[in-house]
Structure 1
């Protein structure tokens, strides 16, 4: 598949020395002269392994990101010489490459419009027309999000199952987040301006650099390494998962969802199809830890389960297990309960929501139809949640801010 072979410990250590030297502030020319000759024949897999070693050595993602473009510029020639066979369209890796090509074409068109604006008078009708079209192009960049979601939530986990990796591509994920942030900043800036000024050009330039350099990193490093590491069966499975997330800038391929895996209980474990494995204790404790009252009624309208959250909104007693749901409601609401259940059973509806004020709290009461993988009705789940504080939320509070109260 490759001219140079997949992995060399000597080249990997040389690249580590080059990269860590830049982070540590050593002389750039000295680093280049020392390590560049040792990087001939560098492979994508070696680049990824080196990145993992930087993290294990204690270098932070932020410090690595500050030097990544400098090092990447040095190794691009070697990576471009690396020979590998691009996978066919039955492969998940192929579709990530197709999306990158589509993104490059879209951004080339945007560059043309930016050049056109430079030749037009900002007060002219022609300028306004091109500028409006360009803003739409920039807003569309947000639609590339499924591509990043697929790499982060499908490709990365599959790579982690292979011998070379434990925590690969954290740096790439962080760069993806930078792209997301700058896309929002660019769109906000363009919506607030009537023309492209210096500030708009600066932030647009940063976005173009981030997105196009990411396609380079994927096409020259991540995707060739993935093609080497992942089997055909893994690629096929990944492609079915891609279909659930969606595709960006390309016509979606026909993705098989694969055979449906039913949950089963064996050896003290509940196998939840493809979504995980839990012990009974874990499942019960998890459901009871949620700040939600959950009640499940089966296909015969009999109550089969209710959770035990720390704070309960409505009275529940074990005596209701096996009871008809119609007998758990006052007479004046039975007709509505029956109509909801029948609409779920027939498939005409799948949810019903109500909200009430109770003891000074605003409660959201939601009913959802429960169906198996083939769409057959299995019952109804009721979830009641206190949304008093939720209703008052404004702005954002991100994960990194959780302990700032």
Structure 2
């Protein structure tokens, strides 16, 4: 009866149990089947808050980090139904993800080929070209500095310290 009176707290308790069972070694399939009703509709905010509560209650941060992908797998279907910040142009998360893609592209399309070319030729010109590409990559520090100074304080303001620690 108490679960009907305080449904939100009961749901949080069950969601915490989902994560605890994963940490006890249960499979993703077992946990999804057992908790399918409570998992439906979970948001990434809820998941982060629950992970934070478990960390506050003594669950080892390294253990949360180790099983982060497993948590995501259990909740993936529900999380994929939500409109995600990274899909909204102008949202900081969207911008960070676009920057991540640009960094990966620069590495794959410029740095890796330039490195291979230098390995084969050993020429001074090829070394200079590689250095130019690496120098462009040095701006990555600005990207991570903005994440640390914009996103993490916002999360920590609301008591969410687990995800920034994991990142």
1:143 CA displacement: 1.8
Given the superposition, is the C-alpha separation of residues 105 and 43 from structure 1 closer, same or farther in structure 2, using an over 3 Å criterion? same
Q: Is 1:22 aligned with 2:22?
A: yes
The reply to whether residue 54 of structure 1 matches residue 51 of structure 2 is no
Look up the SS of the partner of 1:123 in the other structure: helix
Report if the CA contact (8 A) 1:11-1:42 is conserved.
no
Matched, 1:175 2:166: yes
How many Å separate the matches in 1 of 2:100 and 2:107?
Answer: 11
Q: In the alignment, is the contact (CA less than 8 A) between 1:11 and 1:46 conserved in 2?
A: no
Partner residue, 2:151 = 151
Displacement of 1:114: 5.3
Shift of 1:30: 2.6
Q: Does 1:105 align with 2:96?
A: no
Question: Paired residue for 1:136?
Answer: 135
Q: Which has the higher contact order (CA 8 A, sep 6+)?
A: 2
The aligned residue for residue 76 of structure 2 is 76
Give the TM-score normalised by structure 1. Answer: 0.33
Tell me if the contact between 1:44 and 1:79 (Cα under 8 Å) persists in the aligned partners. Answer: yes
Q: Alpha carbons of 1:157 and 1:117: their partners in 2 closer, same or farther (altered >3 Å)?
A: same
Which residue of the partner structure matches residue 41 of structure 1? 41
| Structure 1 residues 87 and 114: CA distance shift in structure 2, 3 A | closer
CA positional deviation for 1:79: 1.7
For 1:337-348, list aligned pairs within 5 A.
none
8 Å CA contact retained: 2:110, 2:133: yes
Contact 1:122 1:128 in 2 (8 A): no
Pick the structure with more strand per residue.
1
- Give the count of matched residue pairs: 157
Q: Which structure 1 residue ranges, 5 or more long, are not aligned?
A: 1-6, 160-166, 177-405
Deviation at 1:59, TM superposition (A): 0.4
Question: SS of the residue aligned with 2:139?
Answer: helix
Q: CA deviation at 1:82?
A: 0.6
For residue 67 of structure 1, report the CA deviation from its aligned partner. Answer: 0.8
Bigger Rg, which one: 1
TM-score between both structures, scaled by the size of structure 2: 0.68
Asked if the contact 1:120–1:127 (Cα under 8 Å) also holds between the matched residues in 2, the reply is: yes
In 1: Cα distance, 2:157 partner to 2:25 partner: 35
Structure 2: runs of 5 or more not aligned: 1-6
**Whole-angstrom distance in 1 between the partners of 2:88 and 2:9:** 26
The 8 Å contact of residues 14 and 38 in structure 2, kept in 1 or not, is answered as: yes
Would you say the 8 A contact 1:12–1:49 is kept in 2? no
Is 1:123 aligned to residue 120 of structure 2?
Answer: yes
Which digits, 9 at most, give the CA deviation of each residue in 1:14-51, with x for residues without a partner?
43223222223334543343235642222123212212
Greater fraction helix: 2
Q: CA RMSD, aligned part only?
A: 3.5
- Structure-2 change in CA distance of 1:30 and 1:143 (3 Å): same
Taking a change above 3 Å as real, the CA distance of residues 37 and 149 of structure 1, as seen in their structure-2 partners, is same
Measured in 1, the distance between the counterparts of 2:89 and 2:108 equals: 30
